[in-house]
Amino acid sequence: MVTPGSDCFVSVVAPLWNDADIVEQFVAETTHVLRENYANYELVLVDDGSTDDTVKVVGDLLQRYESIRLICLSRRFGGEIALAAGFDSVIGDFIVVMQPASDPPALIPEIVERARRGAEIVYGIRKQRAPEPPLVRLGVRIYYWLVNRVLGMDLARNASDFRVFSRRSMNAILQIKDRLRYLRTFSSYVGYATQPFEYLALQRRAKPRSRGLFESVNLAISVIVSNTTRPLRLVSWLGLLMSCLSVLYAAYVVAVYFLLRGEIVAGWATQSLQTSGMFFVLFLILAVLCEYIDRLLGETQDRPLYYILDERNSSVLIHDTDRKNVVTDSVDE
């Protein structure tokens, strides 16, 4: 029996990458929740170039569960691009984004109901972060302070990709064609009403996956560069400040030369300090400029975000043939 509000169409999008060990459990739990609460729903699984048996496992699940679609990308493009591929094809009134390894399907009805009551975007806040080394925790705190206080961005700490979008807010996000995608900043950028909710993440794996240090730093830089130009303004002001200091220092040297002629002892420390300071600012400016030029070159290439290798639909149809998300054709295994 479906619950009040079940007349809406709910689409769930989940990216997969080497998730053969957990995808069956995730699909079983998610379809059970959707079936019990909604008359119209779909589960869109986007395989991001898995190298294990993920596609084969999902192919078997298509024979057993209704209203599932599998989109296979031609290679690994990254989780954000995989989500974009799913967004391009969903047809629901509300779109739920989930990570199979950590997000609890049982919360879908609650967050969709929040969206039905007026919140265009409902996003999850993890009550607990996965255990991290002290240095990583410190880096996370510094990062959030930097992006929120210094760079003027709006990133909620411990926010996750577990969220629901109304059709209106999703249509707005679909208009963003940036090649470097980050769903959490897009959610605040489009300007629609948002509402957080706290939840306890699941651990479907005994050993959760985590980003390496280099990958985390690269992601942090990419998010900053693609969402704000304030670093350019900051280094511009820094360069102007150092230029003014250099002029003042030059005036000081000239004054000392004329006032203390013959008594000057060459100070290598002062000269070295000035030289190193100027080179530091110069290379800092060049580094920031290189990051932005790199992003500009990427955007001007105008290539498709992704390529689809295969697309399959559930071959198990339900009795209500009037359902809008039921297809009449399917790809047999």
Residue of 92, 125, 86, 66 lying closest to 320 (CA atoms): 66
What is the pLDDT, as a whole number, of residue 69? 96
- 310: which DSSP letter? E
- Is pLDDT of 317 > 50? yes
Query: Could you read off the pLDDT of 177-212 as tens digits, one per residue?
Result: 887 788 888 888 898 999 999 999 998 887 777 776
Contact 43, 30 (CB under 8 A): yes
Helix (H, G, I), strand (E, B) or coil at 65: coil
- Is pLDDT of 155 > 90? no
Range from 241-245, 257-261, 323-327 carrying the lowest mean pLDDT: 323-327
For the record, the structure tokens of 89 come out as 């094809």
What is the pLDDT, as a whole number, of residue 48? 96
Query: Could you read off the pLDDT of 23-65 as tens digits, one per residue?
Result: 999 999 999 999 999 989 999 999 999 999 999 999 999 999 9
Q: Which helix (H) or strand (E) holds 281?
A: helix 268-300
pTM of the shown model: 0.77
In this prediction, residue 1 has a pLDDT band, given cuts at 50, 70 and 90, of: very low
What is the pLDDT, as a whole number, of residue 187? 87
Task: For 311, list phi and psi in degrees, rounded to 5.
Answer: -145, 130
Neighbours of 150 (CB within 10 A): 12
Residue that is written with structure tokens 């990583």 in the block: 136
Q: Over the Cα atoms of the chain, what is R_g?
A: 26
In this prediction, residue 286 has a pLDDT band, given cuts at 50, 70 and 90, of: confident
